[in-house]
């Protein structure tokens, strides 16, 4: 990796971190490019050399989440016992990076942020559920709707975790999530077998 590559990575990381930190204290809509460059200690031209606007920066920040839940080398193949393993990986990363969770779902969360977060989680959930469907199997509930319901449950668990001060471990939260979702997923995907 060249020195220039490292510099680009550091600048982009500083701007991403600035956005997340700012979102813990103010709404996404209220954050300006000036706020971002002041917090990251970069120039305006540097910001625009990397991002067209703050929405593009937000998209990259949310892609960090996608990288978490689709992390290479981490076993996350769906099974009957764990049809939505993205949540396990997500809960563990969230536990390690509570500031990220607070920024994405806390005070600074907005419709813009929530929509992007839900889209990433839904795409991942849908892919994992699709892997469990047998070829030619009819669905009583559209896969997209089932994935949306699963993500709503995941986000409800996360918000509860925040509200209760992270009193449970990621594994305990994952167990609760599976208790809420696995029976429903099982009934929809394969009602003739136990899940």
Burial of 77 (0-12, 13-18, 19+ CB in 10 A): exposed
Q: What number is the average pLDDT over the span 74-103? A: 77
pTM exceeding 0.75? yes
Q: pLDDT-derived band of residue 147, with 50, 70 and 90 as boundaries?
A: very high
pLDDT tens per residue across span 119-129: 989 999 999 99
DSSP-assigned letters across all residues of 131-163: TTSPTT---SS-HHHHHHHHHHHHHHHHHHHHH
Q: What is the C-alpha to C-alpha distance for residues 138 and 188, in angstroms, rounded to an integer?
A: 10
pLDDT tens per residue across span 164-180: 888 999 999 999 999 99
Task: Yes or no: say if 144 and 54 are a contact pair by the CB < 8 Å rule.
Answer: no
Task: Yes or no: say if 195 and 83 are a contact pair by the CB < 8 Å rule.
Answer: yes
Indicate the SS3 state at residue 25.
coil
Q: Is the model's pLDDT at 108 over the cut of 60?
A: no
User: What pLDDT shows up at residue 109?
Assistant: 60
Kindly state the tokens that stand for 32. 């300006």
User: Domain 3-58: which CATH class?
Assistant: mainly alpha
Q: pLDDT-derived band of residue 110, with 50, 70 and 90 as boundaries?
A: low
Q: Which residue has the tokens 């910001």?
A: 47
Kindly state the tokens that stand for 142. 């559209």
pLDDT tens per residue across span 48-84: 999 999 999 998 888 777 777 765 555 567 887 788 9
Q: Where are the domains of the chain?
A: 3-58, 62-189
Phi, psi at residue 139, to the nearest 5°? -115, 130
pLDDT tens per residue across span 21-41: 888 788 888 999 999 999 999
């Amino acid at each position: 990796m060249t020195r220039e590559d490292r510099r680009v990575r550091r600048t982009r990381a500083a701007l991403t971190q600035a956005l997340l930190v700012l979102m813990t204290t103010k709404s996404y809509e209220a954050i300006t490019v000036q706020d971002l460059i002041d917090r990251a200690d970069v120039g305006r031209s540097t910001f625009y050399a990397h991002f067209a606007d703050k929405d593009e920066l937000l998209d990259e920040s949310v892609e960090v989440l996608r990288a978490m839940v689709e992390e290479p080398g981490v076993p996350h193949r769906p099974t009957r016992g764990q049809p939505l393993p993205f949540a396990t990986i997500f809960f563990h990363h969230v536990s390690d990076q509570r500031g990220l969770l607070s920024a994405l779902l806390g005070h600074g969360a907005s419709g813009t942020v929530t929509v992007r977060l839900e889209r990433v989680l839904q795409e991942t959930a849908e892919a994992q559920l699709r892997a469990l469907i047998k070829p030619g199997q009819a669905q009583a509930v559209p896969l997209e709707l089932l994935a949306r319901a699963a993500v709503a449950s995941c986000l409800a668990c996360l918000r509860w975790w925040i509200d209760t001060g992270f009193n449970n471990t990621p594994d305990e939260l994952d167990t609760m999530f599976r208790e809420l979702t696995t029976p429903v997923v099982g009934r929809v995907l394969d009602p003739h077998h136990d899940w």
